[in-house]
Structure 1
Amino acid sequence: MNVRRLAVIAVVGALVLWGGATAATASHATATTDTTVDATTATVQEANATVAFDDQTVEDGTVTVRNVTLPEGGYVTIHDDTLFEGDALGSVVGVSEYLDAGTHENVTVTLYEGVSGADFENATPPNGSEVLVAMPHLETGDDETYDFVATNGSEDGPYTTGGQAVVDSAKVTFGDAEETRTRGIVVSNLVAPNYAAPNSTVTVEATLVNEDPAERTEDVAFRLEGGSVDVVVHERVTVPANNETTVTFEVDTTGVPTDEYIHGVTTYNSSEFATITVTENAQVDIDEQETNGSTVTVDEAYLPEGGYVTIHDSSLLDGEVTGSVVGVSEYLEPGHYENVEVTLDEAMAEDDTLIAMPHLETTDDETYDFVDSEGEDDGPYVTNGQPVTDAANVTVA
């Protein structure tokens, strides 16, 4: 097992705002170009455009945007992850044909060709996976030709909402996986929490697979990026022939602003990426499920300071705060958890809406005392003055 510890530092740079007064943001990363937008164009940009871009695997260099709504017509562009570093122009790697005003389904975009002003002479789709961003753009030059890159951003700018570009990102896997595995070390099984507390240490692991008949040594990189943060750490790793190993990075979030970030592990021609949110706020997620009535499963919970995940029945919705508690997890150390099973105090007799709620440990005895203390001890995590909760319909099978 290879272990690498790093301190993530915030790299702060001054960025020119898109359109002179608005910031274009993709997945909480700011992308900019020096442009001037008149009042009429700015108003049109703020029309209600939408885009949906799903994770996918492609073998021919063409990606599919599930749907895009262009109130005034235009294009849907595809940006690579250099957009997160502020490269609004150079990150454009593909653009659709001109699309009339309205909603369009399953729009295909061929990458690394057909972008006026871009140089793709030596560009080829990457192997492995990469995060790409779909972004709807206006047609401002009335020529039905996408000129955003060629005009340095002065024409055919993005649709915006609330001063930010309308975007959706997706993990795109390129090429045939079997073919890729024979050309080097392949990254798989990226394991990392979805949430992390500020000033904490997060462990990120990935499996490195070598299916070649000879030992291979390659550079392996870990990257964390988004907003003002962009950190890359390299390590040389050797994997025996027809074998695998685990690489581990311990990430110190000290100095990292609260935000959502893209991170991943990359080799020469393979990579896996995920997102992680640095936040002080607890999180919880419970999905609809069938149960035998004795237990329920909370899909995900994040407790920055440790504590418990409680289950409330639907009487909570009528204001019954303590009497609605029907189950509680064991004490959980600070961190992120998946598939937390909670045993109910009494078996459910019928279907009900159950509410998952993370609670603090305020008395340092690692015993849930919220009910016995009539709400004085071990209260819920709150955000903006409201308890953090998630509800789901639970069916007794």
Structure 2
Amino acid sequence: MKLLITLGHRVEEQMNTAYRNSVLVVVLLAATALAPGIAVGIVSHPVDGDVSAQQNATDASANASVTLANQTRTGRSVFVDRATLPEGGFVVLSEAGENDSIVGVSLPLSAGTHEGKVTLRGAPGNDLNRTRLGTNTTLVATLHRDSNDNGRFDGLLTSDADEPYGNGSTPARDRATVTVAASDRPTNASVTLSNRTSDGTTVTVDRATLPDGGYVAVHDGGYNGSNATETLLGATGYLDAGSYENVTVAVAGGNDSTPVDSGRISVVIHDDTDGDRAFQYVSSDGVEDQPARANGSPVADTASLTVERPSTPTPTVTATSSPTETEPSTTATAESTATETPTATPAQEPADESTPYGGESSGREGILDNPLFPVIIGVFALFAVLTVVRR
């Protein structure tokens, strides 16, 4: 009898242990089934050393730096003490001030730290390509990426190309004053114009040197001081002292806005005689901002301008022909048929099917869609059997 009682206690203890283990298994499986988002979150963590492209870009901007010191130069180049470009690109030199006009761009630089001179040269899209400083000038050096990887600075051609390095909205830049000794400054004004082809709205001047600053103006025909205010076609804004290449001047015919026609034109260097940096030659009736002179004559050059305007295509008769008498009835029938045919309304997705588990989700994630659901059912069945046996 005692043996039977002892065996009964052992069986009961084993069933209690099995019961507790079953409960533990059920709890673990239920937690796994009902919390798929937790598993997804763990898997989505990046492994050690995995850094996003955005983070790389931020670090590159933060590490970019440039140092430009005050210096004395001949006016044809500027020395950059140090420029660090993590991804390569360009050092861009611009004149400090409201216009912030670009005066020089370095050759394409590889990733790393550089030092050396940047020669004044034009940039694509720049109407004022300065080749020489004519006086002391404050310049700003800014670092730019070569974002389209073509080895050319295109920041003036497209707003989103070759953007500057910088941390947030602050570009990587430095400024300094470049002093040009008097012996190195240009002393004589000069201008060169070759025969040009244009659309009639602009004229490109080959070269212009303004020792004291001023303007480049375009006149109709050969320059004649007796009626120069009447023949003026256009002029640049104020240009600082120095030399320039490929200067673009907007022109118009006479006093209206119509383009000029083919013919002879002259370009003339005008001084800023009143010092206000505004071209007042016409408004002052020739009293202010008169032409610069060399050996008693105005500094000017003359050439031929050929105007080529784009042709406007003439519409063809076929494109504007009227429909035949039978076409209206055919069109009306088609429209009537289309109106009588009901249009199916797309089914709207239930608002409660949104899910945080990814773009390909059907909105039904949960215990029913969990692949462990059959196992859970089996465990619950085992738990029920053990409970009945225990009783």
Tell me the TM-score normalised to structure 1 length: 0.35
Q: State the structure with more CA Rg.
A: 2
Q: Which has the higher strand share?
A: 1
Q: Which has the higher helix share?
A: 2
